[in-house]
Structure 1
Amino acid sequence: MARFEIPEGWTAQAYRFALDPTPTQVRALASHAGAARFAHNHMLALVKAVMDQRAAERSYGIPEDRLTPVLGWSLPALRKVWNQRKTWCAPWWAQNSKEAYNTGLDGLARGLDAWSKSRKGERAGRVVGFPRFKTARTPRSVRFSTGTIRIEADRRHITLPRLGAVRTHESTRKLARRIEASTARILSATVRCDSAGRWHCALQVIVETKQRPAHAQRSRHPVVGVDVGVKADALLVVATPDGIEVDRIGAPKSLTAAQARLRTLQRRAARQHGPYDPLTKTRRAPSKRWRKTQARIGRTHARAAAVRRDVLHKATTALAQQHDVVVVETLNAAGMRAKGGAHKRGLNRALADAALAEIRRMLSYKSRWYGSRLVEADRYFPSSKMCTACGRRKPNLTLADRVFECDECGKRIDRDLGAAINLARLGAPIMGDESPAGSGPVAGRGATQETEPAPAGDAAGDEASTPHHQPVDQTGTASPQGEAA
């Protein structure tokens, strides 16, 4: 099946709105999400049964041409088999939109494809396991790609197939104005329930290429480096190649602030009648008070995530709008929290609370929106361990050392500020100021070529076997590299 290609001069964007559905619509949404889960689990069981049957037949010595026929794993193949079986395995299927079942089958097809490619070594990243069955605790969602999907004229309702007009908590005027001006087109809608029990609708839209807003304040520093951290006063440190600190944004620490409330609620839930009986080791029907406590826990987590997301969006939007070139680190955020055990529990929680990977992800698409350029430094680029004056490296720097002091020239500088300066110097040659080889000891310098990757200090975890690459921008062009001084 041919993939949809975005027209020239347009770009993809998502608009997310919180919904205020009626009780009838809430039941319909839950039914659609449950139908997607049922289709996924039913076809996954069939795939596993066919695989097990073929494995058993091989053990009996049956030739390959006489084995049980293979069940296709593509979305069209799974959908064809589902349509043949739905009348007897799901006689209630007509109560929901066909898009609900297609959502579950599409997720299964993607999971099987990722597992197959991971086994063959055709997929980068961590090893992907075989798809698992979805439970009632799995986040509920359903995607609509056909049928009536529109923004109503009153700008307070979204019409979805089989659900009708669903009221939104906020106005949809931003998207409505674009649609009325024929500069936007809705492709699909994904409805999802978050941990707090609130339903959201994310509209996938293609819009005419966005320009940097006229009211956006332009910085006099076109090239900046951004160092990320977990300290309360240094979530983002922005600096220029010549050592000027442009901005320093503190971490919201929303999860840390919610820990006291979470501890209270989780202890209360442990005392109540939950779904698991530790005495009989069986599952049971949870009590209403336990459900109410779990809902309050979900709302607490949702608020912490919303506070964190608000800070990151405001910071990344300002970076993409105000500067021409932004240089960031390529961190293995998951690997940094992979090991450590109980003695590193506080650091792992702080890393999760900072959401370091989200910063680079947001900058990647916002830089395309506003015409700026994002440069990603190599994962092993020693930004924090390199002197900003002489370029010498200090390999024994630990996380506790917040001030960098060079053993060669005696330079003393804030660790985060020095890292941001070193990153900014990677982006200076892109502006055409000067050639990489003659722009100082750090500019244009990539990862240090070592026999083993540079250690990441106490926060190090399992690193993927990523080769040393040159910094690349979002256009896929490698930034020029020079020799270290």
Structure 2
Amino acid sequence: MARLEIPHGWVAQAYRYALDPTPTQERAFCSHAGAARFARNHMLGLVKAVLDQRAAEQSYGVAESELTPRLGWSLPALRRVWNKRKNAVAPWWGQNSKEAYNTGLDSLARSLEAWAKSRRGERAGRSVGFPRFHGKRERASVRFTTGVVRVEADRHHVTLPRLGSIRTHESTRKLGSRIEAGTARVLSATLTRDSAGRWYVAFQALVQRAAVRPAHVGVRGPLVGVDVGVKSLLVAATPDGSEFERFHAPKSLASARVRLRALQRKAARQVGPFNTEAKRRQQPSKRWLRTRARISKTYARTANQRRDALHKATTRLAQRHQTITVETLNVSGMRTGGGARKRGLNRALADAALAQVRRMLAYKTAWYGSRLVAADRWYPSSKICSGCGSRKPRLLLAERSYGCEYCGMVLDRDLNAAINLARLGEIHAQGEQSPAESGPVEGRGAMQETEPATAGDAAGCEASTPPQYLLDQTGTASTQGEAV
């Protein structure tokens, strides 16, 4: 699929606003989301039927030229077939905007493309399964790319096709002022509903903005290394070994577990949508629905608290520092496996949302004229001593302090890692090259780090050849991270 070419000096940015729709508008929202889901499921059923028919015919020895014709999986091909069938299968299609059906078909086209590329080995990451049918509990979403999509001048209303003017819960001043000044252009609007039932509209816009730092924010540290973790969300340190800032993790999910446990037990005592004795679905009670709504609101609140803490911390770092060095973590791999013994750690990793730190810093550093340096995934920032440069072969997660066996230094584990990352960014800022810098690896790479060879009796500190990413005795690193 073709990607949008962003002009020089412009950036793609999204503005998300909460809505306060009327009951009539909310029913229209649900109708559009249901239309998108129906179009996707109908065409997915047709695609699956054609694939099954062709497989059956091939098993009977039917020639390739006589098989059932293939059904195109691209968005234009799916749209052509849908337009031919919609009068028969969905005579009510005129009640909703055409963009609703296009949203469902676009979702199906992307899913089929990802599945096909994964089967051919052209898609990095985990294997993608065949698309599944969406139910009513799926996230409701409709994307508008044509028609009347605008932000009203009163700063409290937005207009969408077939839905009309909708009141926003917050002011749209930031986007509206840019549109009036000619420094922003709206590309599309996406209407979504979160787990708590609140509707949002997100405007994707091209924004002309220079990489400048706000006038009221001063540069306090030109270069810092940032270590992310579960206990301390972010620890920033300078190359000279001093701690600059420390942001504690909000742990919003852990704080809400007591309330969630009580609500979930209450829901289990009520009449739910499934009868365990008869093993069939049933109509849930109104009290169960109210309890489920309270559970969803609790989860939405924890997500908002987590997102707010991450945005504040990353914005502060991007505005106050010239160069920021972060580590590259395989967070999904860290949460894989372990069973019941690792359930608490997996929950804590999900609560911290460590992968969001690098993603937010990537675009915020471009906004404010900073520079982001990403260390290699296997760079052992936590195992290297920031004092003498020696490396520990293994560091347990329970060891919250780093104790060096050679120089005797004892330091906080997160601070030690942040110092090593800062020195890595310092070398990158100086423009030094190293053999370890070979660029990012496409596709699947190594799944585990190779440990150094075991030292002999007369090995001293290091019997084997020191890896290129170790620090030398002067406290300087010998490699650099990938510049983002």
Same fold per superposition (TM over 0.5): yes
* Post-superposition CA distance 1:140-195 (Å, at most 9, x none): 11100110011111100010000001000101111111111100010000010001
Q: Distance in 1 between matches of 2:446 and 2:139?
A: 43
Of 469, 477, 481, the residue aligned with 1:471 is 481
- Tell me the secondary structure at the aligned position of residue 178 of structure 1: helix
Aligned residue identity for 1:263 = R
Equivalent residue letter for 1:79: R
Q: 1:292 to 1:119 in 2, by over 3 A?
A: same
- Distance of 1:252 and 1:175 partners within structure 2: 29
Secondary structure in 1 matching 2:230: strand
- CA–CA distance in structure 2, aligned partners of residues 445 and 41 of structure 1: 45
Q: Distance in 1 between matches of 2:75 and 2:350?
A: 34
In 1, the alpha carbon distance for the partners of 2:41 and 2:319 equals 45
Match of 1:398 in 2: 396
Q: Which moved more, 1:16-25 or 1:357-366?
A: 357-366
Matched residue of 1:158: which SS?
A: strand
Query: What residue identity is the alignment partner of 2:404?
Result: C
Deviation at 1:94, TM superposition (A): 0.3
| Counterpart contact for 2:324–2:425, Cα < 8 Å | yes
**Aligned match of 1:60:** 60
Query: How far off is 1:435 after superposition?
Result: 3.8
SS at match of 1:230: coil
Q: Which residue in the other structure is 1:245 paired with?
A: 243
The 8 Å contact of residues 228 and 237 in structure 1, kept in 2 or not, is answered as yes
Structure 2 CA distance for partners of 1:226 and 1:213, relative to 1, 3 Å = same
Q: What's the RMSD between the two structures over aligned residues?
A: 2.1
Shift of 1:134: 0.2
CA distance in 2, matches of 1:112, 1:444: 36
Q: Give, in whole Å, the separation in 2 of the partners of 1:281 and 1:219.
A: 63
Cα distance change, pair 6–407 in 1 and its aligned pair in 2 (3 A): same
Structure 1 CA distance for aligned equivalents of residues 147 and 446 of structure 2: 56
CA contact (8 A) 1:33 1:100 kept: yes
CA distance in structure 2 between the aligned counterparts of 1:450 and 1:251, rounded to whole angstroms? 30
Q: Which whole-Å CA distance do the structure 1 matches of 2:385 and 2:439 have between them?
A: 15
Aligned ranges 1:250-399 → 2 under 5 Å: 250-399=248-397
* TM alignment of 1:413-452, pairs within 5 A: 413-432=411-430, 435=432
* Secondary structure at the counterpart of residue 427 of structure 1: helix
Extract structure 1 runs of 4+ deviating beyond 4 A. Answer: 443-447, 449-452
Cα distance change, pair 452–33 in 1 and its aligned pair in 2 (3 A): closer
Aligned counterpart, 2:472? none
- Can you list the C-alpha shifts for 1:89-115, whole angstroms capped at 9, x where unaligned? 001000000000000000000000011
Aligned match of 1:191: 191
Identity, in percent, stands at 65
Q: Alpha-carbon deviations, 1:384-413, whole Å to 9, x = none?
A: 011112211102210111111111221211
Whole-Å Cα distance in 1 between the matches of residues 480 and 423 of structure 2? Answer: 14
Give the CA deviation at 1:452: 5.1
Match of 1:127 in 2: 127
1:445, distance to aligned residue in structure 2 (A): 12
Q: What is the alpha-carbon distance in structure 2 between the residues aligned to residue 125 and residue 277 of structure 1?
A: 38
179-188 vs 320-329, which deviates more? 320-329
Structure 2 match to 1:453: 449
Q: Which residue of 2 aligns with 1:93?
A: 93
> Match for residue 170 of structure 1?
170
* SS of corresponding position for 1:249: strand
Compute the displacement of 1:368 (Å): 1.6
Is this contact kept in 2: 1:446–1:470, CA < 8 A?
no
Please give the alpha-carbon distance, in whole angstroms, between the structure 1 residues aligned to 2:428 and 2:177: 37
Secondary structure of the residue that 1:324 maps to in structure 2? strand
Counterpart amino acid of residue 9 in structure 1: G
Residues 454 and 137 of structure 1, relative CA distance in 2, 3 Å threshold: farther
Match of 2:136 in 1: 136
Tell me if structure 2 keeps the 8 A contact 1:426–1:445. Answer: no
Instruction: Report the secondary structure of 1:375's partner residue.
Output: strand
CA distance in 2 between partners of 1:48 and 1:188 (Å): 31
Quote how far apart the aligned CAs of 1:219 are: 2.7
Partners of 1:351 and 1:9 in 2: CA distance: 37
**CA distance in 2: counterparts of 1:324 and 1:170, whole angstroms:** 33
Q: Distance in 1 between matches of 2:428 and 2:17?
A: 38
2:223 is the counterpart of 1:223:
yes
TM-aligned CA deviation for residue 213 of structure 1: 3.8
Is the CA contact (8 Å cut-off) linking 2:425 and 2:480 kept in structure 1?
Answer: no
Work out whether residues 96 and 162 of structure 2, in 8 Å CA contact, stay in contact via their aligned partners in 1.
Answer: yes
> Separation in 1 of the partners of 2:130 and 2:367?
36
Structure 2 gaps, min length 5: 452-468, 470-478
Distance 1:384 1:446, change over 3 A: farther
Task: Give the direction of change, closer, same or farther, for the CA distance of 1:450–1:12 in structure 2 (3 Å limit).
Answer: closer
3-state SS of 1:127 partner: coil
TM-score normalised to structure 2 length: 0.90
* Counterpart position of 2:111: 111
**Cα distance, 1:370 vs structure 2:** 1.6
CA distance in 2, matches of 1:68, 1:162: 39
Report the Cα distance in structure 2 between the residues aligned to 1:26 and 1:206, rounded to whole angstroms: 29
Rounded Cα–Cα distance in structure 2 between residues aligned with 1:15 and 1:197: 20
Q: CA deviation at 1:8?
A: 1.6
What residue number does 2:80 align with?
80
Q: SS at the partner of 2:427?
A: helix
Give unmatched runs, 5+ long, in structure 1.
438-442, 456-467, 475-485
The aligned length equals 453
Deviation at 1:216, TM superposition (A): 4.3
Deviations 1:194-234 (A, max 9, x none): 01100000100110024334334233321111100111xx1
